[in-house]
C-alpha cells in the first residue's frame, strides 16, 4: 500500500517535470512551479501562456513519457536539487566553522573563529554548490521522480484559483509589479 502511494507521487512528480520541459520547449519568458501528490499535481505558471497551451503541454508530456521519454521526469530546478544544494552548502559552512572553533580550542563561537574560518567556509560552500547539483539530480531520479508512468492515466486538467502561496511567488518573481500573470492548474491522474 505504502509502495503504491509513493509510486503514484513519484510518477505524478515526473509528469509535473515533463510538463514543464514541454512548456519550456515552446515558450519563453515564463516560470513554473508545481507540487505533486498521489492524486496528481498542481502547476503554477508565471507568465502569459494560454490555458489551451498548458493543457496541450500536459497531454504531450504524458504521451511522450508513455512513449518512452522517461528522462523528462528529471528537472534541474526541482526542489530535490534545491534542497540538496541548500543542505550541502549549510553543512559545508557549519563544518568549517566547527573545525576552526576546535582548532582554536574554544567552547563557543567567537568573532575570531568567524573571521579566521570565513575564507575556508566560502570555499567549502562554493565546492558544495558545484557538487550538489549533480548529486541532487541523481537523488531526484532515484527517489523523488519516476519516468515510467505505467498504468497511470490523465483524468482531468482544470484551471483553479491561484493559492496565496502562488500569489506570493508572483509578487517575488515580478519584483512587486502587477504585470506578471499567475495561473494555477490542477492535474488529476489515476492508476
Predicted local confidence at residue 107, as pLDDT: 86
Q: Cite the residue boundaries of each domain of the chain with CATH code 3.30.980.10.
A: 2-76+146-190
Residue with cell 563561537: 109
Residue 55 above 90 pLDDT? yes
What is the DSSP track for 144-172?
A: I--S--TT-EEEEEEEEPPPHHHHHHHHH
The DSSP result for 92-134, as a single string, is HHHHHHHHHHHHTT-SS--HHHHHHHHHHHHHHHHHHHHHHHH
Model pTM score: 0.92
pLDDT digit string (tens) for 24-45? 999 999 999 999 999 999 999 9
Give the per-residue pLDDT at 176.
Answer: 82
What number is the average pLDDT over the span 57-73? 98
pLDDT of residue 135: 98
Amino acid 178: pLDDT: 76
Look up the CATH number of domain 2-76+146-190: 3.30.980.10
For residues 72-88, average pLDDT: 97
Q: By percentage, how much of the chain surpasses pLDDT 90?
A: 93
User: What's the average model confidence in pLDDT over 137-164?
Assistant: 98
Amino acid at each position: 500500500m505504502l509502495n503504491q502511494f509513493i509510486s503514484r507521487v513519484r510518477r505524478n512528480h515526473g509528469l509535473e517535470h515533463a510538463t514543464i520541459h514541454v512548456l519550456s520547449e515552446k515558450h519563453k519568458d515564463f516560470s513554473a512551479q508545481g507540487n505533486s501528490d498521489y492524486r496528481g499535481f498542481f502547476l503554477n505558471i508565471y507568465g502569459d501562456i494560454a490555458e489551451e497551451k498548458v493543457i496541450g503541454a500536459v497531454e504531450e508530456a504524458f504521451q511522450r513519457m508513455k512513449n518512452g521519454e522517461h528522462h523528462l521526469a528529471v528537472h534541474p530546478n526541482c526542489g530535490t536539487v534545491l534542497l540538496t544544494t541548500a543542505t550541502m552548502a549549510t553543512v559545508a559552512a557549519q563544518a568549517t566553522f566547527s573545525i576552526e572553533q576546535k582548532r582554536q580550542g574554544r567552547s563557543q563561537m567567537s568573532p575570531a573563529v568567524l573571521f579566521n574560518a570565513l575564507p575556508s567556509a566560502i570555499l567549502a560552500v562554493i565546492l558544495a554548490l558545484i557538487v550538489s547539483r549533480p548529486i541532487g539530480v541523481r537523488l531526484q531520479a532515484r527517489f523523488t521522480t519516476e519516468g515510467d508512468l505505467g498504468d497511470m492515466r490523465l483524468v482531468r486538467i482544470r484551471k483553479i484559483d491561484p493559492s496565496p502561496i502562488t500569489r506570493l511567488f508572483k509578487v517575488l518573481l515580478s519584483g512587486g509589479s502587477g504585470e506578471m500573470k499567475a495561473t494555477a492548474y490542477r492535474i488529476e491522474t489515476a492508476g
